[in-house]
Structure 1
Amino acid sequence: MPTYAAIIYSADVDPTQPEAAAMMKDYNEFGAAAAAVIRGGRALYPTATATTVRVTGGKGGDIVTSDGPYAETKEALTGFYLIECADLDEAVKVAAQIPGAWDGAVEVRPVVEFS
């Protein structure tokens, strides 16, 4: 069966803080309900902790870093799941149950399997 990345874009919150407890309860319930298809995943710390890395001049060029995410957007990349589903239709149904889809968006994308 193919694997899909369910990439979560939602409010930029710290899931480790007490004020996120209600949200995390929803995620824990999703994780239990979808355990049969989840193959991995993680939550991400807020974008304020991000460092963006670029290499100028191509391979071997100068490394340039900047504080913050790659792009400033209304919703932040807050986490992801790897889900194994029969097809895209099933992956979409699973993604619709991820709490981030309720007030943000979940991008579903097939994962390339290298041998």
Structure 2
Amino acid sequence: MGLKQRIKQSSRAAKEILRGGFWGHPLVLRNLPFAGYLVLLSLLAIYGAHRAEDNVTHIDELKVTYDELESEYLESLSSLMTMGTESSVKRRVKSLGLIAADKAPIQIINHE
């Protein structure tokens, strides 16, 4: 086969492909369901990858929110514990005009 015949044959094949004439070929028709199956699987894989990436992003956002809330909780807990100490209570109550008792309270028992 000469060079001119090869070029002519390849140009015919290219024209046939561009026209879409290969769709009627029995080999293509036989493998078309499998090709559709592969396309569906690839679309599912792409969807799964995007969902996983979205989930990772959402988890990172939740982690940042959790860290902020945990910090706020620990700060509030520390402040509350400081406010509950005896010296802090005495200081706050002193401004109200109350003083601590010198004696322990007496228990009242009712003998009816």
TM-score range, shorter chain: under 0.3
Normalized per residue, the structure richer in helix is: 2
TM-score (structure 1 length as normaliser): 0.19
Higher strand share: 1
